[in-house]
Amino acid sequence: MPTLFSFRVGARAERAAARYLRRLGHTIVERNARLGQGEIDIVSTHRDVVVLTEVRYRSEGIAWAADSVGRTKTAAMVQAARQYIRRERLRGAPIRIDLILATRLGRRFELTHIQSFCEI
């Protein structure tokens, strides 16, 4: 069961990921977009592409963060993306799902960015 501490650290990881995306030239459109049962951590635009980003934090390291994204989580990400596309009427727009894996490195976060993680 997640603790308040893990929620706070996860939120800090999401903020670090948003800062990272801004440095890459993304415009952050929305954070924590709620969609029925799902959520998209960061919605941004980059060079006319709508980017839906999932941020996965694990204190145990990047490999643990990567392992936390199995079939069930991937299916939930795709479902949330489809709901977002319907809600925002983005059918036909270029869209991709990215994944940012995060772990703590002292007081900072180590981030690994996987573009086009899965197909919508």
Question: What CATH number did the domain enclosing 91 receive?
Answer: 3.40.1350.10
CA 89 from chain centre, in angstroms, equals: 20
pLDDT of residue 106: 81
Q: State the total domains in the chain.
A: 1
pTM of the shown model: 0.86
Structural contact between residues 77 and 68, judged by C-beta atoms closer than 8 angstroms? no
pLDDT of residue 16: 96
pLDDT of residue 66: 57
Question: Mind listing the pLDDT tens digit of every residue in the chain (120 residues)?
Answer: 455 556 687 899 999 999 999 999 999 999 999 998 889 999 999 999 999 999 988 777 655 555 667 788 888 888 999 999 999 999 888 999 999 998 888 888 989 999 998 888
Question: Domain span at residue 54?
Answer: 4-118
Question: Which pair of structure tokens corresponds to residue 16?
Answer: 């670090």
* Helical spans, DSSP H, in 68-117: 71-88
Question: Which pair of structure tokens corresponds to residue 61?
Answer: 């390291």
- Which residue in 67, 53, 65 sits closest to 17, CA to CA? 53
